[in-house]
Structure 1
Amino acid sequence: MTRSILFDTETTGLDPDQGDRIIEIAALELVNDLRTGSHYHVLINPERDIPPEATRVHGFTLDDLRDKPIFADIADDFLEFIGDSRMIAHNAPFDFKFVNAELKKCGRPVLDYASRAVDTVIMARKKYPGMPASLDALCRRFGIDLSERGTHNALLDCRLLSDVYVELIGGRQRGLGLSGPSQSEGGEAGARQRRRVTGRTPRPMAMPDEGTLARHRAFLDGISNPLWQREK
């Protein structure tokens, strides 16, 4: 079993070195690259003003967050949730820099980027060179519903990114594996397992009727010098 954490932050600005702070953090647990339903989500009082241009991105004002905990109050809960799992984020350097700045500020150990970070922006650019790699663009590419996305929201963005991530690593068929009930077990038990892993009901495959087979034979008979009848 491989556990990883997909996470996202919203902030007061673009650079913690200039005093910007986290105002929202969300994280989803993935096991074998699929969501388990376990998540962490908290709004945070940034202990400073929120510029209007930042509010236009995520929709939060300081009045919305005055009664929320400061980062130091939630740091231990966050660290407990993520454990030592690898950390997946869209534009991971941005989120890691902010989280580490907050952890350092409250005297907690920082996250090691080199050993833990997985950046879905880099993954997307490798898979689709020259194409847009924003979260919105990737959702549109993979047909992922964006109707709930207005202003940025860390928890919703995590859920969207988890669907994008699955597509970037090869699609939902990855979860089927090469053994066990998803491949070898038939009947309703196998169907239940496939629905659990993929979230989709397998489509039944009907055998062609005799009329369809006859039309196919007639079509093949009409092909001049077909490849499959040539001598090797």
Structure 2
Amino acid sequence: MNNPQTQPVVLYVDGACRGNPGLGGWGVYMQLADGQEQELCGGEPDTTNNRMELTAAIEGIKACAVSQPLVIWTDSNYVKQGITEWIIGWKKKNWRKADGKAVINADLWQQLDQVCQNRSIEWHWIKGHAGHAGNERADMLANRGADQVKTNTGRINSPQPAASLNATVPEADAPAAEPDWLSHDPLGLDMLHEQEPDELYAADEEWVDEVEPKTAVEQHNKEQQLEQANPQNGIQRTPAKVKLSGKRQLILDTETTGFSFADGDRIIEVGVIEMINRKLTGSSFHVYINPQRPVGDSVTVHGINDAFLQDKLLFEQIAQELNDYLHGAEIIAHNATFDMNFLEGEFLKAGLPSLKSRVEVTDTLALAKRKHPGQKNSLDALVRRYEIKQRDRTFHGALLDAEILADVYLAMTGGQVTLDIGGDQSSADGLSQHRQFAGRFKLPVIAASNQESQNHGQWLDQFSEKNGMPALWRTVFQ
């Protein structure tokens, strides 16, 4: 008979914030060693998403015996990376970052570090809003914790039992999962981290929603640039400079108020440029949009503030023209699931048909991960890898990022695209002259030595252990 004290407790932890900063909640769904379940939730009236993610982990661990092994699943890379990697350097620097600035949320990081001492804990990342039952339940509890604070108009200082053991969650309480644009991906690439660390974390180790604001001078300069680029506060359509025939490919990027349309975040900028036959036509579509909600901490990413967006058009006012521009094209985007889920939600909200049936989608992040497995594949990393012309990306602008992505896509899918073998007519025996020529040569095959095969196998083992899943090429090709 298994001893319950040696069987791990599985915890799903999640945080939520309505405004970031704003009303927030945290939730913990626990699967106990004896087969029972337990739920905890709480919240604060004025907090951030990251603080709620950290609090969920802290409260979940505190609720378990020190001797009990734990397996913790979080959809926050900020928490997972922080407690397993960054915290080592922070402690050595007396809770300061490499630039000498104090670690943001140091009080909670110190609490988390303390409750983890002398425990056996396995940390795992899980994709949020992807239909995973444990994660969805934790997300529901986090929102319930926020609702409790709103009802009580005060801070919940201790974990509150959300329900009795083995309680069932009413169907109506379960949040609808965001449509996963790439759920049909046969290689499961969308289940890997959608973005790499240098894309998700700014400057040092901090999550982008915790980056300190730019100086007033930098913000003023950015606003002037935006005003000069968009004097009529409307849609900017640039016609094609060259006439080409062929399939339209549209390189697209968006800027948003946050990470989830389902949680109320909205698009504030769309940038699209057109390419046909691997040549940029000069045609583009660019617009800023009033999201009718504060941009919050996302201003530190794109530099677009509430004052600038106040007199811009609403999405429903530009939806039809954007719909017409995108219709029938192949959309190319980096981490396409993010952009397409937002666009899908915005179009449906505006009363237009679903975008899914009217466009094709190519995700350059999925392409990059397939081409460069185990490496950083953020847009910045790919710019460096392919030696793309550097541009000022102090702020992430949609049109600028679309232009950069076009260069990256062409470099990543480069080489000879169309073979000119028009004169390569078939001979009497059915073989083209081209194939006959190729058949005259036998390419040498150089096999790996036993030592090289052994070294490669060890590297795959290390890769699998680090990422918590088998190496894709081993699974597919063995």
Question: Which TM class, normalised by the smaller chain length?
Answer: 0.7 to 0.9
- Note the C-alpha offset of 1:7: 0.5
In structure 2, what is the equivalent of residue 35 of structure 1?
280
Q: How many residues get paired?
A: 177
Contact 2:250 2:275 in 1 (8 A): yes
- Structure-2 residue corresponding to 1:15: 260
Q: Distance in 2 between matches of 1:179 and 1:47?
A: 56
Q: Does the aligned pair in 1 maintain the 2:328–2:358 contact within 8 Å?
A: no
Which among 399, 420, 432 is matched to residue 178 of structure 1? Answer: 420
Task: Give the structure-1-normalised TM-score.
Answer: 0.72
1:96-139 Cα deviation digits (max 9, x unpaired) = 00001110111011211796110000000111111111000000
Q: What are the ranges of 5 or more consecutive residues in structure 2 without an aligned counterpart?
A: 1-245, 423-478
**Aligned-pair distance for 1:72?**
0.3
Taking the TM superposition and a 5 Å limit, the aligned residue runs for 1:205-216 are none
Q: Following the alignment from structure 2 to structure 1, what is the Cα–Cα distance between the partners of residues 393 and 349?
A: 32
- Tell me the distance in 2 between the aligned counterparts of 1:62 and 1:145: 31
Match of 1:72 in 2: 316
Which of 68, 85, 88 is residue 329 of structure 2 equivalent to? 85
Change (3 A) 1:177 1:70: farther
Structure 1 position 144 matched with structure 2 position 144: no
Q: Is the 8 A contact 2:327 2:358 kept in 1?
A: no
TM value normalised by structure 2: 0.36
Q: Look up the equivalent residue of 2:413 and give its one-letter code.
A: I
Q: Which amino acid aligns with 1:12?
A: T
What is the correspondence of 1:35-184 to structure 2 with a 5 Å cutoff? 35-51=280-296, 53-112=297-356, 116-171=360-415, 173-174=416-417, 178=420
Across the aligned residues of Structure 1 and Structure 2, the Cα RMSD in angstroms comes to 1.8
Larger Rg: 2
Counterpart of 2:271 in 1: which secondary structure?
strand
CA distance in 1 between counterparts of 2:364 and 2:390 reads 18
Alpha-carbon separation, structure 1, partners of 2:328 and 2:358: 13
Q: CA deviation at 1:178?
A: 2.1
- What's the CA shift string for 1:27-76, capped at 9, x where partnerless? 1111012211100000000011111x200000011101011100000001
The 2-side partners of 1:96 and 1:64 are apart by 25
Look up the equivalent residue of 2:260 and give its one-letter code. D
Q: 1:89 to 1:113 in 2, by over 3 A?
A: farther
Higher relative contact order (CA 8 A, sep 6+): 1
Measured in 2, the distance between the counterparts of 1:60 and 1:47 equals 14
SS at match of 1:93: helix
Q: CA deviation at 1:177?
A: 5.4
CA pair 89-29 structure 1, distance change in 2 beyond 3 A: same
Following TM superposition, by how much is the alpha carbon of 1:147 offset from its aligned partner in structure 2, in angstroms? 3.1
